[in-house]
Amino acid sequence: MSSIASPAAGSRVVVARGPRPQSLTAGRIGLYCFILVTAVYFLAPLYVMLMTSFKSMDEIRLGNIFNLPQHFTLQPWIDAWLHACTGLNCTGISVGFTNSVIITVPSVILSIAAGAINGYALSFWKPRGANVLFAILLLGAFVPYQAFLYPLVRVYSTLGLFNTLTNIITVHIIFGLPVMTLLFRNFYAGIPMELFKAARVDGAGFWRTFFSVMLPMSTPIIIVAVILQATNIWNDFLFGLVFAGRENLPMTVQLNNIVNSTQGERAYNVDMAATILTALVPLAIYFFSGRWFVRGIAAGAVKG
């Protein structure tokens, strides 16, 4: 995994290496058919979601989910953002959006800081027990979260922190630690040891070497880490559900409450608008980050 996690692999321009295409043969036609069919499978849900969100409920009841809206309306989006109901609380998904931002920003920053320091210490300093620490961290990334949940609930309750912002943010830091540590450790493993030794000869200590030599070189991996953590934490459902508390429910949890606990007839157009709104941040990250996102996948490959 270290080879695909190496940041250099993703940054060079890649060229298709497959067999050289012949002119238009049966195989070539088959290839494009396959591409067409799969592209429809992957795109259809996004298309349907968008179309549904611009229709009135009357039009939706007519029942062609693939049709373009006859009477284009933005009302479902306004309702989703400002008026959608979670139980008796009809303040829209904007509340969840704010909560998710408040949760995600500090969680991303702090977990990356922790991962960078750990990765640096593990990679260059290798103090006693470093391998044991790293092995447990990695195993921890794979353990089903259900095995951690209940004791954590008890600990946070005892500390009087259960269902607070501190609770959900620290949980994200704790469970982001394995991937972040791995990411930075592998990145620093690719930096020549001579550079580290030169800094040491010049008399720089642990923190000086980190802040003035290593950190300035870490921009690429920090970008990958931000993409990875922002997406993961924004998309989290389980931790938000258990630890965030009613006041801080992240957008994913609120979205599920809006859509799945509605009594009576459901407003599918509002549901779909709310769903797109929830997906918007990770989608924006994906579309703007391009190849960096793929590097994040390869690098964060140990994460479940």
Partner 1 sequence: MTEPRRLRNIAAQIALTPAWLIVAFAYVGTVVWTIVISFTSSKSIPSYNFVGWAQYARLFSTDRWYISINNIIIFGVLFLTICLVIGFLLAVALDQKIMFENSYRTVILYPYAMSFVVTGLIWQWMLNPALGIEKTVQALGFPNFSFDWIIRTDMAIYTLVIAGVWQASGLVMALMLAGLRGVDGEIWKAARVDGIPAWRVYLFIIVPILRPMIVTAVVLLSIGVVKAFDLVVALTKGGPGLSTEVPAKFVMDNLFLRANIGLATAASTVMLVTVLAVLVPWFYTEYARRNRGGHA
Task: Please list every residue from 26 through 55 that binds partner 1, using CB under 8 A.
Answer: 31-32, 34-35, 38-39, 41-46, 48-49, 52
Q: Is 14 in the site for partner 1 (CB under 8 A)?
A: yes
Dihedral angle of Cα 134, 193, 11, 298, to the nearest 10 degrees? -10
Task: Give 22 or 219: the residue with its C-beta nearer to partner 1.
Answer: 22
Q: What one-character DSSP code corresponds to residue 190?
A: T
CA distance readout (Å), 126 to 120, 122, 129, 131, 175: 9, 5, 8, 8, 22
Q: Which of 11, 25, 64, 70 binds partner 1 (CB under 8 A)?
A: 64
Report the C-alpha gap between 170 and 176 in whole angstroms.
Answer: 10
Two tokens at 302?
């140990």
Q: Does 4 bind partner 1 (CB under 8 A)?
A: yes
- Provide the CB-side half-sphere exposure for 35 (13 A, CA): 6
Tokens representing residue 190 in the block: 């690719």
Q: Point out which span in 19-27, 73-81, 101-109, 211-219 binds partner 1 (CB under 8 A).
A: 19-27
Q: Is 301 an interacting residue with respect to partner 1 (CB under 8 A)?
A: yes
Q: Binding of partner 1 at residue 245 (CB under 8 A)?
A: no
210-229 residues near partner 1, rule: CB under 8 A: none
Please report how close the Cβ of residue 193 comes to partner 1 at its closest, in angstroms.
5
3-state class of 86 per DSSP? strand
* Binding positions for partner 1, 101-140, rule CB under 8 A: 114, 117-118, 120-131, 133, 135-140
- Residue numbers 247-276 binding partner 1 by CB under 8 A: 252-253, 255-256, 259-260, 268, 271-272, 275
23 lies in the site for partner 1, by CB under 8 A: no
Distance CA 9, CA 19 (A): 22
- Residue 302 sits at φ, ψ, to 5 deg, of -80, -15
Write the binding mask 169 to 198 for partner 1: x where contact by CB under 8 A, - elsewhere.
-----x--x---x---x--xx---x---x-
